[in-house]
Homo-oligomer: A and B are copies of this chain.
């Protein structure tokens, strides 16, 4: 609750602290993107959609910067990359352990709420490898 609240009401200084903690300089552009990304609850964005939103919010920045920033945030653990579509890459502000619904029809990603999903019977990782993450994608289609 506490963290949700502070997230939702994030002040500029919080965002600056967040960036510093991640080892990233708090530039105008990064702060603007943080604002859009972390102001509300969990979100899913693409580079293009985020660029558009930032623009509408009055922040002029180049698409290249959005790409750079998304990758920096991802390496810093502030975002997670989600691949469900060959065309575009999604970034999820929810970095916790969770899974996704994907509505192919509309190219819409949704978190699967809670940690209720349990996966049993996975074989162990092949020799020389180890499991990095288990991802479940539930592909949806319009009912009818």
Contacts and interface: CB of A to CB of B under 8 A. Distances in A.
Contacts of A139: 131-135
Nearest to A144: B130
A117 B137 CA distance: 14
Contact of A141 (B104, B121, B129, B143): B129
Question: Contact size class for A?
Answer: 35 or more
A125 interface: yes
A143 B129 contact: yes
A117 B30 CA distance: 41
Nearest to A115: B121
A16 interface: no
A86 B83 CA distance: 6
Contacts of A104: 132
Given A86-B86, A129-B140, A134-B136, A120 B122 contact: no
A97 interface: no
Interface of A: 83-86, 89, 101, 103-104, 110, 112-114, 116-123, 125-126, 128-143
